[in-house]
């Protein structure tokens, strides 16, 4: 992997200094190019292929152990598992019965109201690899990459709700930034009354924050937060979390709201990569021209989820105070974060290449 060439056999201090300066400049140049231009994507992808065997080697003993345990599990345990899964499936099917009809209805209503909220089109399942990335950032490595059509900014869900979004794509792997990462923000909406705001990560996997709600906002412990679909990065209507704690300090203008994520951020092994349905042509043309086509208030209010939306009078003033401008879902961190929401809809058509 490491090519040792061009060794200065003289080994004098001058040579050392020269090489040190040379390599440092090279590293600095890499940092600057990687930060400001998108040129290094290909190189990084190639390098990630080189790193892939290391990651596989590291992950395989753990996967092997899982496999071993599974194949050694007793018949009784398997039967119990099967019974539980069947019960879950029955419940899920029962809930699904009316889903198709409801979705069609929702689509029709959205169409009538010219809503541009993204709707899930298709998804693939990826497995979280047993590899530790940076200890101080909330990220996971998943075994699906550019080869499967995964793209930067793509929404990632797990069985409980929204998990995060793709921060970086390798050829065979992708890095997913969790919604709990301190640099991540996701546009959400309170399911009960349609109040829109932004949920920001805290760096703690069990907690998100709603930092932009005024003390007077109508938010209660137990409220379900769903994605609002604003900004185009995430599909609308998926659970993000439930409000766990609301602190209202009369001296402050903003409330202190803690949210418990709906996704099992620290436990999930299987993740869904979601493609949004392409917008119908008429809407797409209006939506595509300005990158922030999702922000005019006219389209904001209808973006409520299929449940009974609150009276618009209720949502609007609160949302004004709640910084609707920040509704772009962007990990502040990945290069070109601002351009992402605008970029997301086009690949949605399923260019699976």
Partner 1 sequence: MTRDNRLRRLPMALSALVALTLAVLPLPSVLEAFRPDFLVLVVFYWSIESPRAGGLTLAFFSGLALDVVQGVVLGEHALALTLMAAWATHLRLRLRVFSIFSQCLTIFTLLTGYQFVLFWVDGATGNPVTTFGRWLAPVIGALLWPPLSGALSRLHER
Spell 183-210 as b/e; 16+ CB within 10 A means b.
bbbbbbbbbbbbbbbbbbbbeebebbbb
- 28 contributes a contact to partner 1 by CB under 8 A: yes
- 20 contributes a contact to partner 1 by CB under 8 A: yes
Question: Please, which of residues 246-305 interact with partner 1 by CB under 8 A?
Answer: 266
Please, what is the minimum distance in Å from the beta carbon of residue 69 to partner 1? 16
Q: Which of 143, 158, 175, 223 binds partner 1 (CB under 8 A)?
A: 175
Find all residues with CB under 8 Å of 176, minimum gap 6, and list them. 139, 140, 141, 142, 156, 163, 164, 165, 166, 167, 271
Q: Which of 116, 143, 153, 168 binds partner 1 (CB under 8 A)?
A: 168
Comparing CA positions, the residue from 182, 156, 346, 133 lying closest to residue 165 is 156
- 192 contributes a contact to partner 1 by CB under 8 A: no
- 339 contributes a contact to partner 1 by CB under 8 A: no
Pick 4 or 94: Cβ nearer partner 1: 4
Pick 141 or 348: Cβ nearer partner 1: 141
Q: Which of 1, 112, 281, 298 binds partner 1 (CB under 8 A)?
A: 1
HEC assignment per residue over 89-148:
HHHHHHHHCCHHHHHHHHHHHHHHCCCCCCCEEEEEEEEECCCCCCCCCCEEEECCCHHH
- 135 contributes a contact to partner 1 by CB under 8 A: yes
Q: Collapsing DSSP states into helix, strand and coil, what is residue 27?
A: helix
In angstroms, rounded to a whole number, what is the distance separating the alpha carbons of residues 281 and 293?
15
Helix (H) or strand (E) holding 208: strand 208-210
- 338 contributes a contact to partner 1 by CB under 8 A: no
Please, what is the minimum distance in Å from the beta carbon of residue 101 to partner 1? 43
Please, what is the minimum distance in Å from the beta carbon of residue 22 to partner 1? 9
The footprint of partner 1 (CB under 8 A) covers 1-9, 11, 13, 16-17, 19-20, 23-24, 26-31, 33-35, 40, 43-44, 47-48, 50-51, 54-55, 57-59, 62, 130-137, 139, 141, 167-168, 175, 183, 203, 266, 332-333
């Amino acid at each position: 992997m490491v090519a040792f060439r061009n060794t200065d056999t003289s080994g004098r201090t001058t040579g050392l200094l020269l090489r040190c300066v040379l390599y440092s400049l090279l590293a600095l140049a890499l940092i600057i190019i990687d930060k400001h231009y998108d040129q290094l994507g290909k190189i990084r992808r190639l390098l990630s292929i080189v790193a892939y065997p290391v990651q596989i080697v590291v992950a395989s003993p753990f996967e092997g152990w899982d496999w071993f345990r599974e194949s050694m599990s007793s018949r009784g345990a398997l039967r119990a598992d099967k019974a539980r899964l069947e019960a879950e499936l029955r419940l899920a099917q029962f809930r699904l019965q009316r889903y198709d009809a409801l979705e069609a209805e929702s689509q029709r209503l959205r169409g009538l109201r010219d809503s541009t909220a993204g709707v899930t089109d298709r998804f693939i399942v990826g497995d979280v690899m047993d590899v530790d990335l940076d200890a101080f950032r909330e990220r996971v490595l998943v075994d699906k990459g550019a080869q499967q059509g995964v793209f930067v900014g793509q929404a990632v869900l797990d069985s409980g709700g929204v998990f995060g979004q793709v921060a970086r794509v390798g050829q065979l792997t992708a890095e997913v930034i969790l919604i709990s990462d301190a640099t991540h923000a996701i546009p959400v909406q309170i399911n009960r009354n349609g109040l829109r705001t932004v949920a920001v990560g805290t760096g703690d996997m069990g907690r998100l924050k709603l930092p932009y709600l005024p003390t007077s906002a109508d938010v209660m412990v137990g409220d379900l937060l769903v994605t609002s679909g604003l900004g185009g990065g995430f599909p609308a209507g998926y659970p993000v979390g439930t409000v766990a704690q609301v602190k209202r300090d009369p001296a402050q203008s903003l409330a202190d709201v803690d949210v418990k994520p709906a996704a099992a951020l620290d436990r999930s092994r299987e993740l869904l990569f979601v493609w949004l349905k392409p917008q119908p042509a008429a809407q797409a043309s209006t939506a595509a021209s300005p990158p922030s086509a999702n922000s005019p208030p006219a389209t904001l209010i209808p973006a409520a989820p299929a449940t009974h939306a609150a009276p618009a009078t209720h949502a609007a003033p609160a949302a004004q105070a709640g910084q609707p401008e920040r509704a772009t879902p962007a990990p502040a961190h990945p290069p070109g974060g601002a351009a992402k929401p605008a970029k997301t809809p086009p690949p949605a058509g399923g260019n699976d290449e």
